[in-house]
Amino acid sequence: MDDRIPMVLPLADPPPSSTQEENPPPPTVESLSAVADSPILTEKESISPSEAVLESVPFTTAENELVSLPPPAAVVEKEEPLQPPPRSIELDSVAVESAKCNAIEEQKIPQTSVSFKEESNRVADLAESERKALQELRQLVEEGTTNHAFQFETTPPSPPAENSKLEENREKEVQEAAQTSCLPEKKLSIWGVPLLEDDRTDVILLKFLRARDFKVRDAFLMFRNTIRWREEFGIDSLVDENLGDDLEKVVYMHGYSRESHPVCYNVFGEFQNKDLYSKVFSDEEKRNKFLRWRIQFLERSIRKLDFRPGGISTMFQVNDLKNFPGPGKRELRLATKQAVQVLQDNYPEFVAKQVFINVPWWYLVFYTMIGPFLTQRTKSKFIFAGPSKSAETLFKYISPEQVPIEYGGLSVDYCDCNPDFDASDQATEVSIKPSTKQTVEIIIYEKCIIAWELRVVGWEVSYSAEFVPNNEEAYTVIIQKARKMAATDEPVISHSFQVFELGKVLFTIDNPTSKKKKLMYRFKVKVLRE
């Protein structure tokens, strides 16, 4: 079954710390100042087009059991050249110009020059300086727990202090926290993980250290600020609230990446629905509810991660920018800006990769402006693909059986009407060159029922299937006559065939176009018992 759990919109890596200390002495709880409340963001009276674009884009799985056929040696793929199709004398000038624009757009889409490799969460794999920083941060958290540095008043945060008074206020707050030794000790936990009880604590603390370039002081302040925010926001009670399912098509979890990260899809085009847009963003109260919804489902998803060393504690983000409302939607811009600020301050290092698909032209403007301000680490996590390259790009990181059919894959909402395949059934991928014919042979060794499904991304090809018996005197059985498949036809073709003699099943794809095509197929057999 397809487990679609609504999730929060893209996460953002926290901005690097601005602290410039070099080799500072190991800090203690008493020497660290408490984290000041975040400044209140005031809305601008006017906003330039460039700022509008900048602020509008967030960063942010018996008897009827089918038995597999013998190993890959039983499957033979043949590719034969086709005669190139006759060229039309009269060309649609509009279509030609559109194709040129798309080609230019694809060329301009920014490409990541450095590939990001996710760091290990095993202490033994850390550099000596990193292990030392982790040990110091853990000691600070232990001291802070003992000295009640993580117990806060529940009064609303005060307005931001002047810069000259900021350090004084922080120092005073830490001193007051240290003096409350008469308070009962509070169990410290975050994201459903009790801290200081097992090695999951190290994985969590490493997130804060990496978000602050392993500067212990900054990581501790960020950690303490996050604990404070979670208490003020009421995270523990928020997780169990019923906030509705209006946004389940906007953001949802679906499948896993090739590296086993859970995948979150963010479908911004859903906000083109005026009723939905008004219901979510029309006033401040609704925008605040939207923020709570995002945080709630982020928390629910995070609590399913494995925080053990060597486990999967990050997510893979897919951001679909098709029909994105764009910078003109002021309410969406305000809601996104607020959410991004909360996410980057309180959810460090939860993104393994950010893939943007169906990237529109105006994103180039956005990336040109924001690119110089992003760290190389953050930029190395970004992957961009225009409309014609979106499916191909996704398949590099997510196998086709895990990709939803609307994005070129084979994954659907499985039910009684489609019992043959699920996400655990791996698909084979084949590239079909322009003006060629690809034939796949599946060898049949015994009487059986064979079922298969296949698709070609974008189709515009012909498909046929037949059974060829080994007995030369027997007749070939046409399972599917050659059929021209248009881009608008059903995305996935499913077939089954009962075989009573040895032979082979062939299905053939003719690609008469000038573009390379991607064929994906998988099959199963159920042996017939006499």
Quick one: pLDDT at residue 436? 97
Phi, psi of 37 (to 5 degrees): -65, 145
The tokens describing 83, both together, are 């005669």
Q: Is residue 344 part of a domain?
A: yes
Same domain, 325 and 468: no
For the stretch 381-417, pLDDT in tens is 999 999 999 999 999 999 999 999 999 999 986 555 5
Asked if 161 contacts 36 with a C-beta cutoff of 8 angstroms, the reply is yes
Same domain, 439 and 515: yes
1: exposed, middle or buried (Cβ count in 10 Å: 0-12, 13-18, 19+): exposed
Between CA 253 and CA 301 the distance in angstroms is 8
Quick one: pLDDT at residue 71? 36
* Tally of structural domains, the chain: 2
The tokens describing 419, both together, are 């019992």
Same domain, 252 and 392: yes
Between CA 410 and CA 249 the distance in angstroms is 18
The last residue of one of the domains, among 398, 418, 441, is 398
Quick one: pLDDT at residue 74? 56
Same domain, 375 and 294: yes
Q: Is residue 216 part of a domain?
A: no
Q: Is residue 368 part of a domain?
A: yes
Same domain, 368 and 462: no
For the stretch 306-329, pLDDT in tens is 999 999 999 999 999 999 886 678
Same domain, 381 and 341: yes
Q: Is residue 128 part of a domain?
A: no
Q: Is residue 454 part of a domain?
A: yes
Q: Is residue 134 part of a domain?
A: no
If phi over 0 gives left and psi between -120 and 50 gives alpha, with beta otherwise, what is residue 437? beta
| 377: CATH | 3.40.525.10
Asked if 429 contacts 519 with a C-beta cutoff of 8 angstroms, the reply is yes
Query: Residue 378 corresponds to which amino acid?
Result: T
Contacts of 120 (CB under 8 A, 6+ apart): 126, 310
Quick one: pLDDT at residue 337? 85
Q: Is residue 124 part of a domain?
A: no
Quick one: pLDDT at residue 165? 54
Q: First-to-last CA distance in the chain?
A: 32
Assign 3-class secondary structure to 494-507. EEEEEECCCEEEEE
Same domain, 309 and 244: yes
| 482: CATH | 2.60.120.680
Residues of the chain with pLDDT under 50: 1-10, 12, 17-24, 26-73, 85-98, 101, 104, 113, 156-164, 177-182
Strand boundaries in 217-338, DSSP class E: 251-256, 262-267, 315-320
If phi over 0 gives left and psi between -120 and 50 gives alpha, with beta otherwise, what is residue 243? alpha
Same domain, 283 and 365: yes
Smallest CA-to-CA distance from 383 within 350, 351, 355 is with: 355
Asked if 195 contacts 202 with a C-beta cutoff of 8 angstroms, the reply is no
State the DSSP code for 269: G
Same domain, 441 and 383: no
Same domain, 385 and 498: no
Same domain, 296 and 244: yes
The tokens describing 164, both together, are 């000259």
3-state secondary structure of 220: helix
Beta strands at 493-499 and 517-527: parallel, antiparallel or unpaired: unpaired
Contacts of 304 (CB under 8 A, 6+ apart): 262
The tokens describing 252, both together, are 């949802």
β-pair partners for 124: none
Domain that holds residue 394: 237-398
Q: Is residue 417 part of a domain?
A: no
Same domain, 439 and 491: yes
Between CA 175 and CA 265 the distance in angstroms is 45
The last residue of one of the domains, among 381, 398, 415, is 398
Between CA 31 and CA 108 the distance in angstroms is 50
For the entire predicted model, the pTM comes to 0.78
